[in-house]
Amino acid sequence: MTDPFDAPLEDLPGDADLADPPDLSGPLTPSGNLRRRQMISRFVGAVQTASALLAVAVLGIVVYSVASRGASVLSFSFLTENPPAFVGLPGGGIAPAIVGTAVIVALATAIAMPIGILTALYMTEFAGRWQARALRLALDLLNGLPTIVVGLFVFGLLVVGHHQSGFAGAFALAIIMLPLIARATQEVLLLVPTGLREAADALGVSRWRTVFGVVLPTARGGILTATVLAVARAAGETAPLVLASSIYANKVSINPFGHEGLPNIPVYIFTASEEADRYGFARAWGAAFVLLMFILLVSLASRAIDRRTTLSR
Amino acid sequence: MHAGTRVVGGRPANTRSGTHPSDRLGDALLRGVCLLAALLAVLAIVAISYQVIHGARPSFARFGLGFLGHSTWQPNFGVFGAATFIYGTAVTSLMAMLLSVPLGISIALYLSLMAPRRVRAVIAPLVEMLAAIPSVILGFWGILVLGPFLQAHLEPFLHSTLGFIPIFGPTPTTGSGLFIASLILTIMVVPIIASISRDLFLAVPRELQDGATALGATPWEVVRGVVLPSSASGIAAAAFLGLGRALGEAIAVTQVIGAGNFIHTSLFQTGDTLASRIADQFQGATTRLQISSLFYLGLILLVIGLLANLAAQLITRRFDVSKVAAR
């Protein structure tokens, strides 16, 4: 391919060929074909537009598939009843899975949020440049870890020799949420104007009072957005839960420290997808619909918070 | 916020002498607690690595590095090898990257340079929302909607037109296989590459592009001559992040890949990846050696996953796109 800047700069429409390679030593004479170049450009533009439309279309198809199959299953009893006792029976609901997911995600958030925010605070308020950089690397690596590996870790740490539990699942999800919350919070804290901190310093306010009185309140919206997005991510996370909380009784339970795992929506869908049972499929579509709506609404909501607070991206 | 408003002779806040003891205690306490939290984050990586290595030890003692090149996986006979899954991981991730890098870049080009502001404000969030779909739902959709479609239309078509290439073999009876797994991974990776690349392209200085335009370059020539070269390293980092995601995806792949035990040349046949084999067999695993071998697979996954992410970080260290990458 010739570099566009080697090509002559002006051109007459209708010049027929691009056969002659541009002679760099020669004078600048028009020899390219403007019409051809513009056609290529237009073609590439069309390809770009098409790929963007393709991505939107895929999203549309997935959401439509889930909504059209899931909405017909959805009813009050679907949300409040237990699933049938045996595979292959119609009816029933996913109440245990909804409650279990809520408990697991809430517990995971309760673990990950304070640690994440404090880690971010350490990076922006206390750490030197080298430390902050190392921490950032560690968090980014943690974020990039395959979630199934996190599941193996929790399995080895909490499940082997004991039993599955909602807590093990929540612990795994907390590890996945931690880097998301910490990195996003760090970005928001960096946006808090230095002037505010200096003003507090100038008034003789101690560091910890500055943090709790000035820095955190200023960044509140952004931190909230970060947490909400992490919740959306954790709610649909399946791989670690397959290892940590996938053996459970089909009844509503809110005890994350029981002798078996807590039912949850992702594992419910995963299990149903492995069994050839059309009633199971129908319930799984319903569960997928509930989960997807929750996640999309939460993402939209966080976007709205994001837009209203000035101190966030 | 009432106390602590004494004026203290112009010293920086953290080296102040003569502050109230409670303030000094508060400072030290906050610093300590924050440090503790930060250490926990670092500890998590170390502990995860340790636990996975620890779990893999019995299998490593039994099979050694030969595990990597051995393609037999027979739990009943206590023989385990990872070659089939390494192959499956490599093929699906490679296919996903081949599709998602050009797609992601052209979406990003559309969003950053072509689309009118209003259109961009609608499409950009939609593309990011694609990344928010849980993998288990994408996989479920893959089995029941995409799979039958591919089996009925796309795969026979590819076989009849490109069948002379061995990777496009005849369509088997199931809709599962490496091909659909690659497509599902593509759907997951495209939004990652698109959103990072878009921010990279938006950061390319306007003057450079205007300069090229003023010299007579067409829009595509501006992209090829200015925009892409000046963001090449960032795109590479984005691709590595996407690769890390594709390598490690367990659930959606498990659902659509068909848990095959053999290496097939044809993409339409079943296979398995490292991550999907773990997700698939963990519950049914009975012997200690099998569980340990699954941990061994996890160890391989951990190493290549860390390498892909480290590569991305090393590239971004020079060109700071990591802000974008953390999303």
Contact assignment for B130 to A204 by CB distance below 8 Å: no
Res. A47 pLDDT band, cuts 50 70 90 = very high
A64 and A168 fall within a common domain: no
ipTM, two decimals, is 0.84
Contact assignment for A292 to B42 by CB distance below 8 Å: no
A80 domain-assigned: no
The residue out of A11, A39, A71 marking a domain boundary is A71
Distance from CA of A309 to the nearest CA of B (A): 18
Task: Please report the pLDDT score of residue B320 as a whole number.
Answer: 52
Determine which of B17-21, B130-134, B278-282 has the lowest per-residue pLDDT on average.
B17-21
Distance from CA of A254 to the nearest CA of B (A): 23
A42 and A179 fall within a common domain: no
Determine which of A248-262, B61-75, B129-143, B285-299 has the lowest per-residue pLDDT on average.
A248-262
List of chain A residues whose C-beta atoms are within 8 Å of the C-beta of residue B35: 122, 126
A114 domain-assigned: yes
CATH, residue A295: 1.10.3720.10
Q: Provide the domain limits for residue A253.
A: 87-308
Phi/psi at B216 (5° precision): 105, 10
Give the nearest partner residue to A142 out of B5, B45, B187, using CB atoms: B45
B236 domain-assigned: yes
pLDDT tens string B201-240: 998 888 889 998 888 888 888 998 889 988 888 899 999 9
A94 and A186 fall within a common domain: yes
Q: Per the structure, how many domains does chain A have?
A: 2
Helices A95-121/B21-63 angle, 10° precision:
120
Whole-prediction pTM value?
A: 0.85
Task: Please report the pLDDT score of residue B321 as a whole number.
Answer: 45
Give the nearest partner residue to B7 out of A116, A204, A246, using CB atoms: A204
A196 and A223 fall within a common domain: yes
Contact assignment for B51 to A121 by CB distance below 8 Å: no
Distance from CA of A77 to the nearest CA of B (A): 22
A313 domain-assigned: no
A38 and A155 fall within a common domain: no
B44 domain-assigned: no
A299 domain-assigned: yes
CATH, residue B165: 1.10.3720.10
Res. A80 pLDDT band, cuts 50 70 90 = confident
Res. A16 pLDDT band, cuts 50 70 90 = very low
The residue out of A71, A96, A125 marking a domain boundary is A71
* Angle, CA of B272, B277 and B281, to the nearest 5°: 135
Q: C-alpha distances in angstroms, B205 versus B118, B198, B201?
A: 22, 14, 9
Q: Is the pLDDT of residue B24 over 60?
A: yes
Per-residue H/E/C for chain B? CCCCCCCCCCCCHHHCCCCCHHHHHHHHHHHHHHHHHHHHHHHHHHHHHHHHHHHHHHHHHHHHHHHHCCCCCEHHHCECCCHHHHHHHHHHHHHHHHHHHHHHHHHHHHHHHHCCHHHHHHHHHHHHHHHHCCHHHHHHHHHHHHHHHHHHHHHHHHHHHHCCCCCCCCCCCCCCCHHHHHHHHHHHHHHHHHHHHHHHHHCCCHHHHHHHHHCCCCHHHHHHHHHHHHCHHHHHHHHHHHHHHHHHCCHHHHHHHCCCCCCCCCCCCCCCCHHHHHHHHCCCCCCHHHHHHHHHHHHHHHHHHHHHHHHHHHHHHHCCCHHHHCC
| CB-defined contacts A:B, below 8 A | 319
Chain B, nearest residue to A237 by Cα: B134
Contact assignment for B306 to A200 by CB distance below 8 Å: no
Token duo for residue A70: 């899931």
List of chain A residues whose C-beta atoms are within 8 Å of the C-beta of residue B323: 187
Determine which of A252-266, B75-89, B101-115, B238-252 has the lowest per-residue pLDDT on average.
A252-266
Q: Per the structure, how many domains does chain B have?
A: 1
Q: Provide the domain limits for residue B183.
A: 83-287+298-325
A219 and A116 Cβ atoms separated by less than 8 Å: no
Chain B, nearest residue to A177 by Cα: B41
B101 domain-assigned: yes
List of chain A residues whose C-beta atoms are within 8 Å of the C-beta of residue B191: 55
A127 and A214 fall within a common domain: yes
DSSP β-bridge partners for residue B79: B74
A94 and A226 fall within a common domain: yes
CA distance A267 to A273: 10
Contact assignment for A141 to B326 by CB distance below 8 Å: no
**Dihedral sign from CA coordinates of B108, B110, B115, B121:** negative
A167 and A34 fall within a common domain: no
Give the nearest partner residue to B5 out of A142, A187, A204, using CB atoms: A204
Give the nearest partner residue to A152 out of B27, B52, B107, using CB atoms: B52
A109 and A64 fall within a common domain: no
pLDDT tens string A253-269: 777 777 777 888 898 89
* Angle, CA of A182, A183 and A187, to the nearest 5°: 115
CA distance A213 to A258: 40
Task: Please report the pLDDT score of residue B325 as a whole number.
Answer: 43
